[in-house]
Every structure is written in structure tokens, then in C-alpha cells.
């Protein structure tokens, strides 16, 4: 698998996202995954507000989340079926703004994919929108998938045989988050100015229709359920 991070100018609020991407990607080949950081998608959608004070920030966090729990440094929240700090609201590289997550990352990924698929007459082409996450009991952050279009995000090994011919019972591989982690590692988290990346030779199955809920698990079936037993699984 190969990943090429792409350096760009600073993306401006409400700038045309498709035109911005076209400026840096004059050509796209078959079997390519275009990676777009969620921050520029959100900026293009106008999903940002001026930070007045912490009270304003908390109000927005509560509005954007289905669960809010205060911790030592941030609010632990659940949004779009994922744990994240402060409902994904970002202040880094924001020049005084609070940048929210895109309104619908799967819809945004599909829109970008459809545009470039048609423009470049592509058959196998995908788009992945990424963000960053903290993992329980692990220092640092890693990339995660917010939305994607054009490839299967989960590989199911259940009922397949292992090397000793025993069937897997539980194993599934989260391709979407794995690709996001690899791409974000190359794109950087600081002042690299690389909000785009191209992934080629990825071990994925390109497909026209996807199941946007395939990577979300019911809290009642999660191995971490003792930690999140207070959640109402029916609302997930």
C-alpha cells in the first residue's frame, strides 16, 4: 500500500471544496482512495463558530453529542456512534474558531466521490474522510474514519479458517479506521498543511454501495460494555 500526502495552501472558511481538491489533483487513477481531512470539509460547509467563552463551547458540545461526560481535561462524548473528545470540536489550526465535524461525513464523501468519479471516468475510486481520536489507555492520537464512499469498510473473517484450520468466531477487520490511521500518520497533525492524501494499492474491495453502519457496534455487544453500561443501546 502506498500513501502520498499532499501539501496545500491554507483552506479558507466556506471555500469551494471540490475546486480546492481539483487544484491539487489534476489527475486521479483507478483503484485510488482520496483521503480528505474532516476539518476542511467542515470549513467548506460553514461548520464553525466564534469561540466566545467556555460556556459557549460546552453548549455546542452538548448540542452536537448524544452523551456528554466531564473528565479531567475534556468532555467525553458520543457522536455518530463513536467515542470522541468534545464531540470532535477542534480548536487547533483554527485561528480562534471552533470547528465542528461535518454535518454528514458519509454524504460528503459520496458527493466528492461522485464528482471525481464522473470527471475522471473512474470505475474503482473511493473517498475517505478522517479525523483524529484518542484510544482508551493509550497515549497520543491516531487517525479514524468519519465517513467513506466507494469501498467496503469492514472485512469479516468469521467462519473463515485460520492457519490451523479452526474457524474464526469473532474476528473482523476495520479497514476504514486502519486506512484512516495510516493516512493521518502521513498527513500530520501539526503545521504540515497536508489535508489531502492518495492511497493506492490498498487491500480493499471497491464497491458502489456501502453500509455506513457496518463499523458501528451495539454497546450491549461491545467487549467494553462494562465501561459504557449506562448507554441506551436502542439509541445507538
> What percentage of residues in the chain have a pLDDT greater than 70?
94
Between CA 144 and CA 155, with CA 149 as vertex, the angle to 5 degrees is: 65
What digits encode the pLDDT tens for the residues 147-163? 999 999 998 777 777 77
User: Cell numbers 492511497 correspond to what residue?
Assistant: 199
Sequence-ordered alpha helix ranges (H) in 46-94 = 54-64
Instruction: Place 141 in a pLDDT band, splitting at 50, 70 and 90.
Output: very high
| The total number of structural domains that make up the chain | 2
Residues 131 and 29 in one domain: yes
| DSSP-derived secondary structure for 182-236 | HHHHHH-SSS----EEEEES-S--B-S---TTTT---GGG-TTGGGSTTS-GGG-
Residues 39 and 109 in one domain: yes
Residues 60 and 162 in one domain: no
Phi, psi of 117 (to 5 degrees): -60, -45
pLDDT at 233: 42
Domain that holds residue 68: 50-94
What digits encode the pLDDT tens for the residues 167-216? 776 677 899 999 999 999 999 998 899 999 999 999 999 999 999 999 98
Residue 235 belongs to some domain of the structure: no
Residues 88 and 137 in one domain: no
Residues 148 and 201 in one domain: yes
Residue 20 belongs to some domain of the structure: yes
Residues 43 and 55 in one domain: no
Residues 66 and 21 in one domain: no
The verdict on pTM exceeding 0.75 is yes
Residue 236 belongs to some domain of the structure: no
What digits encode the pLDDT tens for the residues 100-128? 999 999 999 999 999 999 999 999 999 99
Residue 160 belongs to some domain of the structure: yes
Amino acid at each position: 500500500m502506498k500513501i502520498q500526502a499532499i501539501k496545500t495552501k491554507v483552506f479558507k472558511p466556506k471555500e469551494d471544496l471540490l475546486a480546492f481538491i481539483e487544484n491539487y489533483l489534476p489527475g486521479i487513477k483507478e483503484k485510488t482512495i482520496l483521503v480528505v481531512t474532516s476539518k476542511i470539509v467542515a470549513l467548506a460547509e460553514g461548520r464553525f463558530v466564534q469561540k466566545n467563552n467556555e460556556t459557549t463551547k460546552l453548549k455546542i458540545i452538548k448540542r452536537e453529542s448524544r452523551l456528554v461526560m466531564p473528565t479531567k481535561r475534556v468532555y467525553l462524548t458520543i457522536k455518530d456512534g463513536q467515542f470522541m473528545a468534545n464531540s470532535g470540536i477542534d480548536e487547533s489550526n483554527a485561528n480562534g474558531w471552533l470547528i465542528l465535524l461535518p454535518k454528514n461525513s458519509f454524504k460528503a464523501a459520496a458527493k466528492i466521490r461522485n464528482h471525481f468519479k464522473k470527471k475522471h471516468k473512474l470505475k474503482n475510486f473511493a473517498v475517505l474522510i478522517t479525523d483524529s481520536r484518542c484510544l482508551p489507555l493509550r497515549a497520543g492520537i491516531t487517525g479514524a474514519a468519519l465517513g467513506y464512499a466507494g469501498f467496503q469498510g469492514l472485512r469479516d473473517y468469521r467462519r473463515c479458517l485460520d492457519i490451523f484450520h479452526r474457524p474464526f468466531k469473532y474476528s473482523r477487520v476495520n479497514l476504514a479506521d486502519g486506512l484512516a490511521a495510516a493516512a493521518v500518520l502521513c498527513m500530520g497533525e501539526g503545521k504540515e498543511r497536508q489535508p489531502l492524501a492518495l492511497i493506492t494499492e490498498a487491500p480493499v474491495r471497491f464497491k458502489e454501495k456501502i453500509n455506513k453502519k457496518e463499523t458501528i457496534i451495539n454497546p450491549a455487544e461491545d467487549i467494553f460494555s462494562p465501561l459504557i453500561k449506562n448507554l441506551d443501546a436502542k439509541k445507538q
